[in-house]
Each structure stands twice: as structure tokens, then as C-alpha cells.
């Protein structure tokens, strides 16, 4: 299926990540991990607000009480609506000098999940963490090199999670309280087609995965784990997707220009920008952190 990809914001982010649609505000949030900054973008008015951060910001979530929850390098913080820190609620449980937070989101039970990456890349030193509404951080998974692709099925039966350099997409069964069981390998990727980066699940339960270094986003069948659709992009390094728009049928896509050569950027000058694609199946409204 051919898709019409629009560049909606020439952000030129070093490492654009974590697009997040606010249904109430009808705006798109995202981060530039390395700037570091949180952005708030209104696609109708094209108004862009930028909230600089003190250190790398891996991922964010919306809060029921207003403002944001954010995983920065040294720990997890509650932020106000302008991205200013209100309270540090947890330390980075890893070695902060060599491990920063990366991908994450709020789950249907109101917990905030945040995964980390191991920067030396010489071992699987990343972690997958969950912050509960009573503001306690728990390490829920290890043996990860770069934590990515966290998403939850609409029936609350499955949690997806990818490890980008290890070319793996995992799936965890969830009980009624949202506790994950043992992970199983859901799909192995071939690096020639891209590595599994950030993701989102649509209302039919299909998993949409940004293929880093592959220049595309793929839609994966939750039953067969096969790719059933793809969106080809004008950039080679997409990082994450999010459903938004008035009907949740717009797929927003962030991208990266981190560590790219002059030749690569000349070939892909839109790297770091944000793209939008109209899709046939709606996504799911993002839950809010209940803490």
C-alpha cells in the first residue's frame, strides 16, 4: 500500500524520540534526547514550544494531575506543564555514567515504563523499569542492550518490547493487574531491512515499528508476527511512532540525525524531522500516569 508521507516539522533533532499525542490538548509532544529538550507541537497552528532539560531525556508520559513524567539520565522526574522539574521520584537504577534512559510510555494501568540502554555496547547492560502510581521504581527486566519498542495490546493481554541492536522483538503475557510474565521472542529482524526501534499498537492490535537504519515503518500482525504493511520514508533513521490527530488515524514519526556523516545528511537532509501519515486504522489514546 502506498502512503503519503508529509514532513510536518523541520525539527532537525539530533535524536528525536518518544512522540506522544495528547487527546485533551490535541498536540504532539516529543523529545530530542541529546539536545536535551521536550517539544510541544500543535499541527493545526504549527506552534512549537520547547522546554530545555538539564540532561538527556529519554521518554515522557502525560500525568492525570497535569504536566509530565520524564525519565532523565539520572532518574525519573515529575515535571509541570512547561517541562520544569517539580520532584525527583526515583534514581536511575543502573550506572548513570554509562547508562541513560531511552524508550518508554504509560501503560493502561497508569504505570510509567522506562527502559535504558548500555552506552559502551559491550554487554546487555540495559534495564526495563516500571514506576508505579505510588512513585516506586521497579526493575522488571534485564539482559537488554538498548531498550525500545514498548507497547501494550488493546486487550491488555500483551506487552511488546524490543532490543534494537540485538534485532529482537519480545512479547510478555500480562495478567489482570498488568504484571508481565516470561518474555518470548515474537520476531527476529534482519538488519538489512532495519532494526526495531520505537513502536505503537493500533486499535486492531497490530504493532507498528520504526525500522532504524531501514528507512521505513512496518505494521506487524499480532497473530503471525509477519509484516503486513510498510511506510517508506525520506529518512533512513526513524526512531518511534505515535497515533494522533482528531480521529487517532494520523501516524506521527520521529527521526534521528545523530552521528551521521556529511554525506549521509546530504543524502537524507530531512533527518531529525517529524513526519505524518494518514492510516486506515485508528490508534489508541495514550493513558496518563496516575501518580
Active site residue ranges? 197
* 230 labelled ligand-binding: no
Question: Could you tell me which residues are beta bridge partners of residue 77?
Answer: 70, 88
- Asked whether residue 100 is marked as a ligand-binding residue, the answer is yes
Q: What is the DSSP letter of 177?
A: T
Q: Is 25 annotated as a binding residue?
A: no
In 153-215, at which residue ranges do the beta strands (DSSP E only) sit?
158-163, 168-173, 184-188, 195-201, 207-212
103 is in an annotated binding site: no
User: How far apart are the C-alpha atoms of 291 and 288, rounded to whole Å?
Assistant: 9
Cis before 36? omega within 30? yes
102 assigned to a ligand binding site: yes
Of the candidates 61, 71, 66, 109, which has an alpha carbon nearest to the alpha carbon of residue 91? 71
Contacts of 263 (CB under 8 A, 6+ apart): none
Q: Which residues are annotated as a binding site for substrate?
A: 100, 102
Q: Which residues are annotated as a binding site for a divalent metal cation?
A: 17, 148, 197
Q: Which residues are annotated as a binding site?
A: 17, 100, 102, 148, 197
Amino acid at each position: 500500500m502506498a502512503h503519503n508521507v508529509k514532513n510536518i516539522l523541520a525539527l532537525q533533532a539530533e535524536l528525536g524520540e518518544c512522540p506522544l499525542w495528547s487527546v485533551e490538548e490535541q498536540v504532539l509532544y516529543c523529545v530530542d534526547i541529546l539536545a536535551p529538550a521536550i517539544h510541544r507541537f500543535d499541527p493545526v497552528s504549527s506552534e512549537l514550544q520547547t522546554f530545555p532539560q538539564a540532561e538527556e531525556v529519554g521518554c515522557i508520559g502525560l500525568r492525570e494531575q497535569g504536566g509530565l513524567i520524564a525519565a532523565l539520565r539520572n532518574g525519573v522526574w515529575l515535571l509541570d506543564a512547561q517541562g520544569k522539574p517539580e520532584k525527583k521520584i526515583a534514581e536511575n537504577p543502573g550506572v548513570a555514567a554509562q547508562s541513560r534512559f531511552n524508550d518508554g510510555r504509560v501503560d493502561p494501568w497508569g504505570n510509567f515504563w522506562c527502559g535504558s540502554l548500555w552506552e559502551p555496547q559491550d554487554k546487555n547492560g540495559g534495564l526495563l523499569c516500571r514506576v508505579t502510581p505510588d512513585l516506586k521504581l521497579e526493575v522488571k527486566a534485564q539482559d537488554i542492550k538498548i531498550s525500545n519498542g514498548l507497547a501494550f495490546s488493546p486487550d491488555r493481554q500483551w506487552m511488546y518490547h524490543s532490543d534494537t541492536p540485538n534485532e529482537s522483538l519480545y512479547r510478555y503475557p500480562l495478567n489482570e493487574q498488568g504484571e508481565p510474565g516470561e518474555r518470548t521472542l515474537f520476531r527476529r529482524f534482519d538488519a538489512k531491512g532495519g532494526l526495531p526501534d520505537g513502536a505503537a499498537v493500533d486499535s486492531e492490535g497490530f504493532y507498528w515499528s520504526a525500522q532504524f537504519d531501514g528507512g521505513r515503518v512496518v505494521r506487524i500482525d499480532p497473530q503471525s508476527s509477519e509484516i503486513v504493511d510498510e511506510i517508506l520514508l525520506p529518512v533512513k533513521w526513524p526512531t518511534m511512532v505515535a497515533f494522533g490527530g482528531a480521529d487517532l488515524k494520523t501516524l506521527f514519526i520521529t527521526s534521528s540525525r545523530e552521528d551521521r556523516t556529511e554525506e549521509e545528511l546530504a543524502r537524507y537532509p530531512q533527518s531529525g524531522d517529524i513526519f505524518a501519515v494518514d492510516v486506515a486504522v485508528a490508534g489508541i489514546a495514550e493513558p496518563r500516569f496516575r501518580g
